[in-house]
Amino acid sequence: MHPIPARHDVSAEIFQDIRAAAEPVILKGLVAEWPIVRAHDAAAYLRALAPPQPVQFMRAAPEVEGRLHYASDAAGRNFERCEASLPAFLDLLAKAATDARPEALAVQGLPAMPGFAEANPMSLLPPAIQPRLWIGNAAKVATHHDPTENIACVAAGCRRFTLFPPDQVGNLYMGPFDPTPAGVQVSMVHVTAPDLTRFPRFAEAQAAALVAELEPGDALYIPYQWYHHVEALDAFNVLVNYWWDPARRDIGSPWDAMMLGLMSLRTLPPDQRRAWRAMFDHYVFLANGDPGGHLPAAARGILDATSPQHVARMRRALLAKLQGG
């Protein structure tokens, strides 16, 4: 494992250079002046802003040692989903902090309550990108990826992040697509106690991994699709994160394209898969540059079809083929 590099005094302009490099970076002290970070009691700060509606949270027995994951048969989850008001959940956290073997408790991805974003502003992103809160005790979020870019800000407690580049997916032994613990696949390997006999290729992922331990006020930039394992290290932790995706919204989802590929490409004979890999590399991933660059503009057809009208026409043609069987 290698340390994630840190940058101090990151401005919005500097952050654009960081994004362009597409590598993880610790944004040291980025949110150190936030009121929730400077608060003597971050739990009390949250109580004062708590919404009236209940929040959903995860609850796992002490035996799972904080690892929120699939059940042992990978057909379910090793935790239960519960609901309570945020103050009641904070009470559960306070009680668990006194237990020798506490259960794992976690609120994940809670949209920030009214007034939070204004009081705790994110200087690197447009206001339209809203924060989400992750509140809990010493729980571990298994290795997963987000189909977005991400800034994760530590507001209370300390957190350890272990990141893996997207090309390590084959060494991470990802779990089922359905069900998932929290909406996305997670790795079957426990980063804090890996079973290299059962998952031998994970040793290669470990060699490529980047790691960082963040204190309150620090933030971490996680580039698009980078896999990450997150450990909350204290009895009370708050993380604030921001997800965004600058890609076009009108051209369909790469995830949907992969699902279609699983149906139409994966079962082909090996020689056909090789041929289609070459086609995708050339036409989709532009391995050889612009595949239509040698053609007159008027003759490029779908190779140059990027306007909303072209996209709509291609979408209708694709749907017609799918519905026709």
| Domain of 289, in residue numbers | 254-323
Q: At what angle do helices 86-96 and 42-49 cross, to 10 degrees?
A: 160
Give the residue from 99, 193, 82 showing the smallest Cα distance to 138: 99
Alpha helices in 121-249 (DSSP H): 202-208
* Same domain membership, residue 269 and residue 227: no
Q: What's the average model confidence in pLDDT over 200-212?
A: 98
The pLDDT > 90 percentage for the chain reads: 77
Q: Are 79 and 68 in contact (CB under 8 A)?
A: yes
Average pLDDT, the chain: 93
Of 244, 279, 311, which one is at a domain's C-terminal end?
A: 244
pLDDT (0 to 100) of residue 290: 94
pLDDT (0 to 100) of residue 268: 95
Q: What is the CATH number of the domain that holds 146?
A: 2.60.120.650
Confidence of residue 260 (pLDDT cuts 50, 70, 90): confident
Residue 249 in domain: no
Residue 200 in domain: yes
- Transcribe 22-84 into DSSP letters: T--EEEETTTTT-HHHH-S-HHHHHHHH--SS-EEEEEE-GGGTTEE-B-TTSSSBSSEEEEE
Confidence of residue 322 (pLDDT cuts 50, 70, 90): confident
> What secondary structure letter does DSSP report for 117?
H
* Same domain membership, residue 194 and residue 140: yes
* Residue 325 pLDDT exceeds 80: no
Give the residue from 27, 10, 16 showing the smallest Cα distance to 161: 27
For the ranges 67-71, 148-152, 285-289, 321-325, the lowest mean pLDDT is seen at 321-325
Q: What's the average model confidence in pLDDT over 7-30?
A: 97
* Same domain membership, residue 269 and residue 236: no
* Same domain membership, residue 263 and residue 223: no
* Same domain membership, residue 229 and residue 187: yes
Q: What is the pLDDT of residues 177-201, one digit of tens each?
A: 877 777 788 999 999 999 999 999 9
Q: What's the average model confidence in pLDDT over 85-104?
A: 96
* Same domain membership, residue 258 and residue 213: no
pLDDT (0 to 100) of residue 113: 95
DSSP SS3 for 297:
helix
Of 244, 266, 287, which one is at a domain's C-terminal end?
A: 244
Q: Are 135 and 174 in contact (CB under 8 A)?
A: no
pTM over cut 0.85: yes
pLDDT (0 to 100) of residue 324: 75
Q: How many domains does the chain have?
A: 2
For the ranges 41-55, 109-123, 167-181, the lowest mean pLDDT is seen at 167-181
* Residue 254 pLDDT exceeds 80: yes
pLDDT (0 to 100) of residue 304: 82
Q: Are 45 and 34 in contact (CB under 8 A)?
A: no
Alpha-carbon Rg of the chain, whole angstroms? 22
